[in-house]
Structures are given as C-alpha cells and as structure tokens.
Structure 1
C-alpha cells in the first residue's frame, strides 16, 4: 500500500470514528468530550488492538494490518455496505466476512436493464453464475443458459461440448478466461462457493486444470469475440464489461456488433 493510499485510509477512519456515538457501542453517556464520536483509545479497545497501533493506522504509517482487524473496525464503526467495500479496497485485502450478495437474487430492476438491451447481454456474479440474460444472448448461445438449471459461464465453456463448436479459437479463449477468472476470484478461492466451483472445473476439465496452475492473471477486458453460429455463420462482437455499482460482486457484459 503506497503512502497516498494509507493517508486516504487514515482520513476515512478518522471521519467515520467521529460520527459514532459512544452509547451506540455500550460506552457510558454523560461524559464531557472535547471531540465528537469515539476516542482512538476507545475504538482500539473495542477492536482488541493497541491504541498506538491504531493511531499509526490513522496517521497513515506503514503498518501491517490483518483482514480480521479491518473487519472488527468495520463492525465497531457500523460502516455501511458501500463504506465497508471502500475500506477493504483501500486496504487492498479481501473482506473475511464478505457480503453474501452472491446468494441473494438479483434485484428485478437489474434484470429489467438486461432485457432492455438490444445486443446480447448478461450479468455474472463473482463465480460467473449467470444471474440475468436477454433474448439476443439466448439466441447467440443457441438455447444456453436456459437449458441449465444453474447456468455458469465457466462450466459452459469447459464442460459443455457445445462451447467448443460455438466459440471461435476456443483454445485461446479458454486460456484467457481462466486468467480472467483468477483475477476475479483469486482473493476468495478458499470460500465455499468459489472452492466448490474450482473443484468441479479442475476435476472435469484438464484444460482448466492446466491453465489454473499457470497462475496467470488478466483483467476481463473488452475486445473482439467471434462465434460460429449454426444458422448465421461467423458472428463478430466487441465485448464490453461493466462492474455494477449497486452490486460490486457482479458485472454486466454486452456483446456489440463488430465490423
């Protein structure tokens, strides 16, 4: 973590500490306070860390802080969901008590958004489960994902023979897909949903198992995507991917016609 990021993190903690009412965390009321909110020593005690160490965190010093400590700070400070995500992004580590958004049904308005798009479009969660898709996507993938009870893009690419027929240059795309997924899920490989998916893929696909051991990491960037459609021949698209602000565990993918 660089110095500027540590300073921003310290300023953020100081601001949210100042808004916490002592009585909300079980401290006695009625005491005269020079500053609003919790004192540093009070917050440190509530989180089970030394006040000196916490002071260094707020001062932006280069100290090592475990994910568990960040989680306790987030809890005591009653951070909102967005604030908690922001805290762990600044801290550059995974939240050990991560939001379980990935098991919550996608809000209807986000699914409606996908259906309003004229190009093939779909929403993936962090395990690349397909949470929403529109009719053009269904047509392009020739009935998938509707033919799977729990459609997952990785299982489709590596375990469904239809993917090899549909995706042009399947071998090249497959290697990049593994690297993209590692970038998405690398911090969560020990969590049950990600671990179960990885186990299935490693056992079911030698190609996935091979590329997973390479530890290559790339962003899910846009670019040309080509498909061999049975009825329409070669179809060319530019892939565009957006992270959803209201569901940071999810991304919206669109396939726009390419010349």
Structure 2
C-alpha cells in the first residue's frame, strides 16, 4: 500500500471517528480481560483488530488517516468490533466512501411512530417498503375512498392506484399522478428492488395494468415530493391538500405521508 504525503479531510475524519469510538470502549464492554494497566482510555488498537479479525497495522493506519482500501465486509467487522449503532455504522461507510450496507430485515415500526399517525389532524398514513399501508387515521380513511376506506380491501397504494376505479376517479389528473407515483416508487424501492415482495408487486402490476406497464417501461425516476394534491371526493366534492412526505429516521424503510388542507 502506498503512503500519502498528507491525508485528505475525509481520511482524517475517518481516523478521528475510529479513534474516538475505540477510546469509549472498555475491555469489559467487549468481553476482554482488563489486562495490564492502561496508559490511555479505551481499547488498544491491537484489541480492536483482534475483535474485527483485521490487521493491527490496518487499524493503526486508518486512525492515522492513511488511505487504506477496506472492503464492505471489513468495515462491517470493524463496526461490530466497535459496537457502533446503525447510524454510526452508516456514517463509517460514508467516511470510507462506500455505499451504506443493505439491511434485508423488515424495519420494526416504533410504537411512537404508529401513534403519531393518529395524532395528526389531517389525513395521514404510514407505508412500508412496498407501499402497503401499515397505519392510517380516520381522516385518511374518509379521504382515500378505494384504498383506505372501510369498504376497500386493497391496502397497497400502488395496486389501488392502478386497479381501483374508485381511487382513480378520486385522484385529480389521475394519468399524470399515477405515472409520477411509479417514478417515485422506482426510486424509493431501489435498494430493495430484488426483494421477493417488491418483485412480486411489480410483476403483478405489469401483468394486470397496461397503464402501470407503460409507466414502468418509461424508466422515469422522481424523488417523492410534496405539493398540491387535488381529489374529486364522491360526497365532499373537490378537495385540495398540500402533501408532505417524510422518511422517519428511526425506521428508514418506511414513509409517512400527511396532507394539509389548502384554500383550493
């Protein structure tokens, strides 16, 4: 490995991050005997290397800000050795210039997040990775006929948007909104595109809906954004809302949608 004349800012930050987290741990934290008296706080570099199954030289060079190329597996082992949280794990990968590790487990839904849906005055709903509705409030059930109302059985937003005539009649400018929804779903589901539930959803809609098939084939991508949303409600007439979409930090695989009434 070549040694640089001066480390880059990111390499220096990576070294400082690793050193700070190493110094926070005690041997007891990781199941090691206390050993001889320590002149500095925390674990020794050799102990971190042992726990991670890495070279002590690599750990030293990383802390010194040298450009050591690390595989995703090695970074994960280092994160586990340092007992990093999920956020810290992702930050380590970002500092190392690596994509964040993929989490195949379905994220748990924090109870406070579920409760927040019902605490919102306007229509609100919580979606999972495949955009199945996990929770929604009474205002959302009243607004989204053909999807969240008591008489509907299809709780997947994508399937309802393309297969429910009632929801299609509700949504103002349905052709544009439906195509936009597909472009947004393509971005949101990218990390889990090969998961069996996601593949089954896409393949099923391609088989059942010509409109979805055409929108999916267009390869359009859009970030999920807010903005005005209009609805032709069967009993309340034309309604307008400002949509806000959030990805909860505590459950990054989920998505919270809220609609705030507007003047029209």
Contact 2:147 2:167 in 1 (8 A): no
Taking the aligned partners of 2:195 and 2:208, their CA distance within structure 1 comes to 20
Taking the aligned partners of 1:147 and 1:89, their CA distance within structure 2 comes to 46
Q: Does 1:80 align with 2:60?
A: no
| Equivalent residue, structure 1, for 2:189 | 185
Contact 2:125 2:134 in 1 (8 A): yes
Match of 2:167 among 140, 163, 168: 163
Q: Does 1:95 align with 2:101?
A: yes
Are residues 11 and 204 of structure 1, via their aligned partners in 2, closer, same or farther at CA, if it must alter by over 3 Å? farther
Taking the aligned partners of 2:118 and 2:232, their CA distance within structure 1 comes to 24
Match of 2:125 among 122, 125, 129: 122
Q: Deviations over 1:23-42 (max 9, x none)?
A: 44354431333333233343
- 1:38-49 matches, within 5 Å, as 38-49=43-54
- 1:1-259 matches, within 5 Å, as 7-59=12-64, 64-88=69-93, 93-98=99-104, 100-101=106-107, 104=108, 106-142=109-145, 144-145=147-148, 146-147=150-151, 151-259=155-263
- Give the TM-score normalised by the residue count of structure 2: 0.78
Contact 2:146 2:165 in 1 (8 A): no
Structure 2 unmatched ranges of 5 or more: 1-7
Q: Deviations over 1:159-197 (max 9, x none)?
A: 333332222222222222222223222122233443443
- Give the TM-score normalised by the residue count of structure 1: 0.79
Aligned residues: 254
Taking the aligned partners of 1:16 and 1:138, their CA distance within structure 2 comes to 47
| Structure label with greater radius of gyration | 2
Contact 2:146 2:167 in 1 (8 A): no
Structure 1 unmatched ranges of 5 or more: none
Contact 1:67 1:96 in 2 (8 A): no
Taking the aligned partners of 2:72 and 2:173, their CA distance within structure 1 comes to 40
